Chain A
Amino acid sequence: MAKKRLIFTLLYNDGGFMLSRNFRLQRAGDIEWLKSNYNFKNIAFTIDELIILDVSRNERNLERFCDHIKVIAEECFIPIAVGGGITSYEQTKAIMNYGADKLVVNTTLFRAPDFVKELISTYGSQCIIASIDVKRQNDQTEIYIDNGSTKIEVAFDEYIDRITNLGIGEIYLNSMDRDGTGHGYLFDFLGQLKSTVKVPIIIAGGAGNWHHLLEGLQHDLVDAAATANLFNFIGQGFPNARKQLLESGIDLARWETANIPDLKKSH
């Protein structure tokens, strides 16, 4: 049995890394800031998987985005999933060449399901993460696409059926209500998932401290807990959170970190 996972999501926008609160973006810094000031590699050695999403609201620049993926992937020895505005093979090829192992699709799932199906047959199910942005409204779960700006008129359970039938490998469920709030994950919509959903569920949106991550990972239906908040787990926050989760009995992978200085020989 594969282990539960802790995932960090980096939000990229036009050369910068962003904080998001209820899908409103605020720039935190550029790649140099992420590497040097933020010391991202410290976090990279305490997570199980990394997701990098191009959430640019304006026109996307693929080449520049790939340069950023490359720099991050060079010192990140875990699976990396990349997404944001994927609509063509040219994009996926470029992204995979720069160290990505998985692709994240969101709007394309709704607009071009046949293309997603092709991606699945090219790269395999395990390679495709379906990202769904959800909002709770009057006890209903609404689905949004286009960076949370367009509501689609499809029922949540029907949409889940639709995408799992396509053959996607995992589902990333992001609560727009909790996004960036640090108030903890929302679990309401998990109850609407049928027992026929066999793919791993990644929960996102709202984790503000390690207790929230624990709540997420302790949930029966959740395989992975994600956070995109650059500042809620700053400094030793993430290493400490992982330690606490392991001590609380969560079955996460284990590895040494004390030996990192001995392993790193490149400059």
Chain B
Amino acid sequence: MIVIIDYGMGNLFSIQSALHYLGAQSIISSDPHRINNADKLILPGVGSFYKAMSNLKATNLDEVVKEPVIKKNTPILGICLGMQLLCSSSTEDGFSYGLGLIDCPVERFSENKFVNLKIPHVGFDTVTITKKNKLFDGLDSRADFYFTHSYRMAYTDQLYVTGTCSHGEQFIAAFAKEHICGTQFHPEKSQTNGLVLLKNFIEKF
């Protein structure tokens, strides 16, 4: 059973619809027992990092989510803000620590480089797959996905970067650190490209 972690933020319905379409069973839950026994976890999220971490901490969900990922190697996919929450920290709405499952700070797109840069970065954009990973099996080395975000992973060990995108600067669009992976884009909103990626997560992790 795949558990879509419910902490009060994010478009959970869309993710569950996509999983259902692919024939995978999932539940939307914040129950520690279910999260601990999940085959796979999906951490969704739309909104502010600070608010999301506060929500997770208020119910001790931060520790609940980390435990099976660290102790049982339960695969986890973070989507959009969910990807950022897997990181070590963010400066959105003031500095706050993340789950720290990957060592990386999250920062706002730097505005000073290009005058005409539109922030947030919204819409379909091309992801260049920089490192072969089973999450991208069956997709071209350049594939289009839907983004909506103002913050991004600032830098991390290149070893874990699997896809990049460009918005005034090159940024990390996807990472995979063994069973811990994240996409800055929304696979559940990216037509068949996203469905293929979710199918890979369901079947190959």
A interface with B by C-beta (< 8 Å): 1-3, 5, 45, 48, 70, 73-75, 77-79, 96-99, 101, 124-126, 169, 198, 200, 252-257, 259-260, 263-266
Say if the beta carbon of B155 comes within 8 Å of chain A.
Answer: no
Instruction: Give 1 or 0 for each of B138-151: 1 = CB within 8 Å of chain A CB.
Output: 10000110111000
Q: In the complex, are the beta carbons of B192 and A126 less than 8 A apart?
A: no
Say if the beta carbon of B132 comes within 8 Å of chain A.
Answer: no
Contacts of B22 in A (CB 8 A): 263-266
Counting contact residues on chain B (CB < 8 A from A), the size range is 35 or more
Q: Smallest distance from the beta carbon of B8 to chain A beta carbons, Å?
A: 12
Compute how far the CA of A96 lies from the CA of B167 in the bound complex, rounded to whole angstroms: 27
Interface 9-residue window, one of B60-68, B94-102, B114-122: B114-122
Q: In the complex, are the beta carbons of B124 and A77 less than 8 A apart?
A: no
Contacts of B146 in A (CB 8 A): 78-79, 253
Say if the beta carbon of B29 comes within 8 Å of chain A.
Answer: no
Q: In the complex, are the beta carbons of A96 and B124 less than 8 A apart?
A: no
Q: Smallest distance from the beta carbon of B10 to chain A beta carbons, Å?
A: 10
Q: In the complex, are the beta carbons of A253 and B144 less than 8 A apart?
A: yes
Choose among B143, B147, B199 the residue that contacts A2 (Cβ–Cβ < 8 A): B147
Q: Given A77-B18, A99-B14, A253-B124, is A45 in contact with B191 using a C-beta cutoff of 8 Å?
A: yes
Residue among B138, B144, B166, B188 with max Cβ neighbours from chain A (10 Å): B144
Q: Given A2-B121, A169-B122, A264-B21, is A259 in contact with B144 using a C-beta cutoff of 8 Å?
A: no
23 A-B contacts, Cβ less than 8 Å apart? A3-B123, A5-B123, A70-B13, A73-B13, A74-B17, A75-B21, A77-B21, A77-B190, A79-B148, A99-B11, A99-B13, A101-B11, A101-B148, A126-B122, A200-B123, A253-B124, A253-B191, A255-B192, A263-B196, A263-B199, A264-B22, A265-B22, A266-B23
Compute how far the CA of A99 lies from the CA of B10 in the bound complex, rounded to whole angstroms: 10
Interface of B is mostly: mixed
Compute how far the CA of A99 lies from the CA of B190 in the bound complex, rounded to whole angstroms: 14
Say if the beta carbon of B195 comes within 8 Å of chain A.
Answer: yes
Say if the beta carbon of B182 comes within 8 Å of chain A.
Answer: no
B interface with A by C-beta (< 8 Å): 11, 13-14, 17-18, 20-24, 47, 118, 120-126, 138, 143-144, 146-148, 166-167, 186, 188-196, 199
Closest 6 CB pairs of A and B: A265-B23, A2-B123, A253-B124, A253-B144, A255-B191, A126-B120
Contacts of A257 in B (CB 8 A): 192
Q: Smallest distance from the beta carbon of A72 to chain B beta carbons, Å?
A: 10
Q: In the complex, are the beta carbons of B17 and A73 less than 8 A apart?
A: yes
Q: In the complex, are the beta carbons of A260 and B124 less than 8 A apart?
A: no
Residue among A3, A73, A263, A264 with max Cβ neighbours from chain B (10 Å): A263
Compute how far the CA of A98 lies from the CA of B148 in the bound complex, rounded to whole angstroms: 19
Compute how far the CA of A255 lies from the CA of B196 in the bound complex, rounded to whole angstroms: 10
Q: Smallest distance from the beta carbon of B198 to chain A beta carbons, Å?
A: 9
Contacts of B20 in A (CB 8 A): 74, 266
Contacts of B189 in A (CB 8 A): 77-79, 101
Q: Smallest distance from the beta carbon of A92 to chain B beta carbons, Å?
A: 13
Q: In the complex, are the beta carbons of A260 and B192 less than 8 A apart?
A: yes
Q: Smallest distance from the beta carbon of B81 to chain A beta carbons, Å?
A: 11
Contacts of A264 in B (CB 8 A): 21-22
Q: Given A5-B123, A126-B148, A254-B144, is A259 in contact with B17 using a C-beta cutoff of 8 Å?
A: no
Q: In the complex, are the beta carbons of B194 and A77 less than 8 A apart?
A: yes
Q: Smallest distance from the beta carbon of A26 to chain B beta carbons, Å?
A: 31
Q: Smallest distance from the beta carbon of B54 to chain A beta carbons, Å?
A: 16
